[in-house]
Amino acid sequence: MNLNQFKDQDFLSLETFRKNGIGVKSPVWFAEEDNILYMWTVGESAKIKRIRNNPQVKIAPCKRFGEVTGAWVEARASMDDSTAAVEHVEKLLRKKIGLGFVIFQFIDGIRDRQKGSHRVCLKVSLN
């Protein structure tokens, strides 16, 4: 399976799994580079905790609020919280999404500073 169904899509549904095996779906913005899908999320988020426990995930293209528009694909996720990785994914998302991402990044940045959160780069590759 390849990444063709994600071409020209802004969002994907990322399904991560709790320790009891129950899946949790989250719509996220993503960018693709060299057959890796990159996402940007809060390092303290529940999805990051679930990925640390189980890097196996499922992904499918979706609309902004999570309505799936394609087939689910099994994948593997990893997290990188280095400054270089976070800046790289921000650059990819800014290039792909444009002004919408810049506005989201600004608003999210205010909220994150209030909570003391930090961003991480999430990388997803097909199995």
Q: Using DSSP, state whether 75 is helix, strand or coil.
A: strand
CA–CA separation, 80 and 120 (whole Å): 6
Distance of CA 11 to the CA centre of its chain: 9
Of 18-32, 38-52, 68-82, give the lowest mean pLDDT range: 38-52
Burial class (CB in 10 A: 0-12, 13-18, 19+), 98: exposed
- Banded model confidence at residue 111, pLDDT cuts 50, 70, 90: low
Expressed in angstroms, the distance from the first to the final Cα of the chain is 9
pLDDT tens digits, one per residue of 92-104: 988 888 766 666 6
What per-residue confidence (pLDDT) applies to 38? 96
pLDDT tens digits, one per residue of 50-79: 999 999 999 999 999 999 999 999 999 999
pLDDT above 90: percentage of residues in the chain: 60
Provide the whole-model pTM: 0.85
The pLDDT of residue 117 is above 70: no
Write down all domains in the chain, each with its CATH number in brackets. Answer: 4-126 (2.30.110.10)
Residue 24: name the closest of 54, 69, 64 by CA: 54
What per-residue confidence (pLDDT) applies to 22? 96
